[in-house]
Amino acid sequence: MYGEKGSLHSALHSNALCFGWPDAPPLTLPMKQVFLSILTTLMIVATTLSAMVILVRATLFVTSIESPLPRAGAILAEILLGVVLLLGTVWLATHAAVLIFAPKSDEPEGGPLG
């Protein structure tokens, strides 16, 4: 009777509070997923380091400007460049992780529109 419809004194299934854990397959990652996660990690490190090198070079260029007005404009442009580069690397990392680890669905979610 254990593992079937329920016990004598309960209307619940015997594994109702296990949240599907006994029915779930063991956690195994396919080799493709492991390879892609390592490649994604290397790509994220490379893009972050390249963004930091670009920002350091931009900072060195901005601090070499003599006139205050063009220097102020260059500082604002450098701040905007830093925000775009670093947010871009975070977006790229998140997007790659979702593409790798999201569950794949074979059938479409919706029906006909008419």
Phi/psi of residue 51, each to 5°?
Answer: -65, -40
Interaxial angle between packed helices 68-101 and 31-63, expressed in degrees from 0 to 180 and rounded to the nearest 10: 180
Residue 112 three-state SS: coil
Please give the residue that has the higher pLDDT: either 107 or 51.
51
pTM: 0.61
Q: According to the model, what pLDDT value does residue 37 have?
A: 87
DSSP 8-state symbol, 104 = P
- Counting Cα atoms < 13 Å in the Cβ hemisphere of 42 gives 6
CB 61 within 8 A of CB 38: no
**Using one digit for the tens of pLDDT, what is the confidence trace for 83-99?**
999 999 999 999 988 88
pLDDT digits (tens, 9 = 90+) for 14-58: 655 655 555 555 566 688 888 888 999 999 999 999 999 999 999
Instruction: Work out whether the CA dihedral 77, 78, 82, 85 comes out positive or negative.
Output: positive
Query: Is residue 5's pLDDT more than 70?
Result: no
Per-residue pLDDT for 4 more than 60?
no
Task: Reply yes or no on whether the pLDDT at 11 is more than 70.
Answer: no
